[in-house]
Amino acid sequence: MSDSPIPILSTWVEVPKTSDFTIYNLPFGIFKNKKLSPRIGIAIGDKIIDLSILDQEGFFANMFLPEGIFVKDSLNELISLGKVQTKKIRERVQTLLLVDNGELRDHSARGKVMVTRKEAEMLLPVKIGDYTDFYSSIEHATNVGKMFRDPENALLPNWKHLPVGYHGRASSIVVSGTQIHRPKGQFKGSDGLDFGSSQKLDFELELAFITGKPTKLGDSVSTEDAEEYIFGFVLFNDWSARDIQAWEYVPLGPFLGKNFGSSISPWVVTLEALEPFRSASPLQEPEVFPYLKCQKAHSFDVNLEVFIQPDGKKPSKVCTSNFKSMYWNVAQQLAHHTVNGCNINVGDMMASGTISGSTEDSFGSLLELSWNGAKAVKLEDGEERKFLEDGDTVIMKGFAEKNGIRVGFGEVSGQILPAKS
């Protein structure tokens, strides 16, 4: 969509060719290490720019930032300054990293400012107030409808008229690397109703956006203004217990089959960084109500991959998908979420729903890849899976690439531990 050429930028920082964290990206995150308390950083190559030290050393002079704004254990206060300020901060860092700029490169504080990423622990980037999960992939909704309802009428009558979603649980959203215990619950077993550890544990490949601007109760956000309210995106793994979910979801929707944990990647990729990868959404038919119509493209061409790594073995790629194929885009999701006057706050998280493509290798969950356990998904080393086993690590990666320019998300990973006794 975006045909304007991306200006070529070079940096004095050594950035590996395959790095997600190029000078075009500069995502925000919260990190700490043995010596440093939690603070805000920007990733570049294998390094983190410690924004609190940059600030201390006067690199943000004349920007009127509140004192200590970067010495925080979440991005919420920074994001609350508004897009004008956060854009300026990111652009200032980009300028400092340009190959011809000696301000930081030749500064005595450079060593303190540049933290090695491997030596840092990444924390949850935002305090998440509310979490909503959409269901916006037509391929995913169709697959699920075929499996559990009527193959001839896989989509429910409302699906093409509104972006279906539900309110999830914010407290159990954790940062990449956090281990997840297999959940226990009620489900229908082969001998009738059973209680125990889930036998159908699954992942869901999603992207989530984080809101950066609040609204008042009663107000609505239009599709035209929606992006003003979106700070950035993370990878999102919506862990799902299919057996618990199948028994409990009628009539009020997902509950314990979902709220035992969701994992996100630690680096928040800003909307500005994704701009060159803007992409049109699929044509919507039937026509949607005016409040859901869009004047411009609001999807993004982001390649997505899922790997399963059995304990002590190699990871195997099980899914290759893309965000741009989603039927409902982020502007429509936000417009629909607020059309009734529901208010949003800084730090709300809105996940896309499972991102499945049209081919069998692009399905974003094991439920679809194994067709609810009807066939095994082949992994390397002779392993195969219908659903996740204890010890499995699920790794999701995402990156956008155009004309050799790469903006990536890094990864979100999580290992499954046995159910707690």
Do the strands 173-175 and 262-264 form a parallel or antiparallel pair, or are they unpaired? parallel
Comparison of 292 and 351: residue with beta carbon closer to Ca ion: 351
* Residue 195 burial class via C-beta count within 10 angstroms: exposed 0-12, middle 13-18, buried 19 and up: exposed
Extract the tokens encoding 2. Answer: 């975006």
Stretch near Ca ion under the rule CB under 5 A, chosen from 52-60, 125-133, 138-146, 184-192? 125-133
List of residues 6+ apart from 260 with CB closer than 8 A: 172, 180, 181, 183, 239, 241
DSSP states along 307-358: EEE-TTS--EEEEEEEGGG-SS-HHHHHHHHHTT-----TT-EEE------S
Residue 411, interface with Ca ion (CB under 5 A)? Answer: no
Nearest residue to Ca ion on Cβ basis? 238
238 binds Ca ion (CB under 5 A): yes
Q: Which residues contact residue 310 at a Cβ distance below 8 angstroms, ignoring those fewer than 6 apart?
A: 379, 381, 383, 389, 391, 392
CB of 65 to Ca ion, least distance (A): 37
Smallest distance from the beta carbon of 204 to Ca ion, in angstroms? Answer: 4
∠ Cα 61 64 70 (to 5°)? 80
Segment interacting with Ca ion (CB under 5 A) among 133-141, 146-154, 262-270, 341-349: 133-141
Minimum CB distance to Ca ion smaller for 43 or for 355 = 355
Residue 167 annotated as catalytic: no
Smallest separation (angstroms) from Ca ion to the CB of 332:
17
Check residue 204 for interaction with Ca ion (CB under 5 A): yes
Find the length of the chain: 421
Choose the catalytic residue: 140, 298, 336, 337.
Answer: 140
- Please say which residue, 215 or 240, places its beta carbon nearer to Ca ion: 240
Select the span of 2-10, 71-79, 203-211, 331-339 touching Ca ion (CB under 5 A).
Answer: 203-211
Query: How near is the Cβ of 414 to Ca ion at its closest, in Å?
Result: 15
Which residues are bridge partners to 189 per DSSP? 192
Sign of the CA dihedral running 94, 100, 103, 109? positive
Q: Cβ 53 to Ca ion, closest distance in Å?
A: 38
Instruction: Compute the distance between CA of residue 242 and CA of residue 254 in angstroms, rounded to an integer.
Output: 10
Q: Concatenate the DSSP letters of all residues of 38-77 into one string.
A: SEEEEEETTEEEEHHHHHHTTTTTTS-PPTTTTS-SSSHH
Q: Residue 238 or residue 368: which is nearer to Ca ion going by CB? A: 238
Stretch that binds Ca ion, among 64-72, 200-208, 212-220, 385-393 (CB under 5 A): 200-208
Q: Given the rule CB under 5 A, which of 9-17, 146-154, 230-238, 390-398 is the region that contacts Ca ion?
A: 230-238
Q: What is the per-residue binding string for Ca ion in 78-117, x denoting contact by CB under 5 A?
A: ----------------------------------------
Nearer to Ca ion among residue 13 and residue 208 (C-beta): 208
CA distances from 397 to 1, 72, 235, 400 (A): 23, 27, 7, 11
Is residue 348 close enough to count as binding Ca ion by CB under 5 A?
A: no
Task: Name the minimum Å distance from CB 166 to Ca ion.
Answer: 9
Amino acid (1-letter code) at residue 258: K
**Contact call for residue 139 and Ca ion (CB under 5 A):** no
Q: Does 202 bind Ca ion (CB under 5 A)?
A: no
Residue 133 interacts with Ca ion (CB under 5 A)?
A: yes
Supply the minimum distance, in Å, between the C-beta of residue 3 and Ca ion: 33
**Separation of alpha carbons 86 and 416, rounded Å:** 36
> Quick one: which of 244, 207, 167, 179 has its CA closest to 394?
179
Q: Please, which residue, 270 or 370, has the CB nearer to Ca ion? A: 370
Query: Stretches 129-137, 208-216, 261-269, 275-283: which one binds Ca ion (CB under 5 A)?
Result: 129-137
Shortest Å distance, C-beta 135 to Ca ion: 7
Residue 352: partners with Cβ closer than 8 Å, 6 or more residues away: 134, 136, 137, 206, 207, 208, 236, 323, 326, 330, 333
Q: Which residues bind Ca ion (CB under 5 A)?
A: 133, 204, 238
Q: Which residues are catalytic?
A: 140
